[in-house]
Amino acid sequence: MAIKITVWNEDNVQESSPDVLKVYPQGLLGAVADMFPGEHFQVRKAWLSQEEAGLTDEILSDTDVLIWWGHCKHGQVPDEIVTRVQGHVLRGMGLIVLHSGHESKIFQRLMGTQCSLRWHEMNERERIFVIEPSHPIMWGLPMHFELEAEEMYGERFDIPTPDALLALGWYQSGEVFRSACLFNRGYGKVFYFQPGHETLPSYHNPYVKQVIVNAAFFIARNRVLDRELHSDFAEALEKF
């Protein structure tokens, strides 16, 4: 049974800026959605300017993992949509928050903090160290990998202590950052992953893509299994 992925973006400058399109011809929304080809996934795209910000109750009920990338329009996401997404996470939907999505209303709501951090945009080299190589989200990765250029995110990152801290980022300037954090919220899981500045090619990096796909598999596992079991049970009842 396929994992149902909804990729959400603000649908603003990140999808139309020439600087972005030089790096991601399909925009960031397309770049993230294209990480999930094949029979294992059903992928839908959603964005802010759609009805109900593209996140109707029907869509969320049909989503195993919601992937969130936001930057400039966090405040324009209606509070009722944030509450709706929160409810679905607490009932078991997975949420992957990427890069500047740390300032999104939904991530702040689920963390209970401002989720602030230190940053500067110098396009410096980043080395990401895997610190939990046995965790399924880190499967298949080397002990560390490098991004030639990324926006620096530095500590202190104002988040609760993660249920699992999976990777640390180190930058040329000497800054460090908790770059891969997993949280349990209700019956759902929330994964934050730091790389992904809109004008830099981090989403072309095979290891970055592998982390995001691994995370989708991991945090959707119980939800998909439950759906399969309920389907098998319903079929058995019909035959009874």
* In a domain? residue 25: yes
Number of structural domains in the chain: 1
Q: Is residue 213 part of a domain?
A: yes
Q: What is the pLDDT of residues 54-76, one digit of tens each?
A: 999 999 999 999 999 988 888 88
pLDDT value of position 13: 55
- Residue 237 reports pLDDT greater than 50: no
Q: Is residue 201 domain-resident? A: yes
CATH of the domain at 10: 3.40.50.880
- 28, 88 in Cβ contact below 8 A? no
Instruction: Calculate the alpha carbon distances from 18 to 24, 198, 211, 214 in Å.
Output: 10, 11, 27, 31
CA 57 to chain centre: 19
Q: Is pLDDT above 70 for 226?
A: no
Q: Which alpha helices (DSSP H) does the chain contain, by range?
A: 13-16, 18-23, 27-33, 57-61, 79-90, 105-111, 206-239
pLDDT at 52: 96
Report whether pLDDT(30) > 60. yes
Q: Quick check: is 36 in a domain?
A: yes
Contacts for 36-42: CB closer than 8 Å, 24+ residues apart:
36/5, 36/213, 36/216, 39/2, 40/2, 40/3, 40/217, 41/2, 41/3, 41/4, 41/5, 41/216, 42/2, 42/3, 42/4, 42/5
What is the mean predicted confidence (pLDDT) over 166-178?
96
In a domain? residue 121: no
Please state, rounded to an integer, the average pLDDT across all residues of the chain.
Answer: 91
Is the model's pLDDT at 140 over the cut of 80? yes
- Considering the domain boundaries, does residue 101 fall inside one? yes
Please count the other Cβ atoms lying within 10 Å of the Cβ belonging to residue 84: 18
pLDDT in tens, 119-138: 998 899 999 999 999 999 99
Within-domain flag for 125: no
Residue 232 has pLDDT above 50, yes or no: no
Taking the CB of residue 12, how many other CB atoms lie within 10 A of it? 16
Pairwise CA distance, residues 175 & 148, whole Å: 15
- Domain region containing 202: 3-113+178-239
Q: Is residue 132 part of a domain?
A: no
Top-ranked range on mean pLDDT: pick from 86-90, 224-228, 236-240: 86-90
pLDDT of residue 228: 56
What's the pLDDT tens digit per position in 181-197?
999 999 999 999 999 99
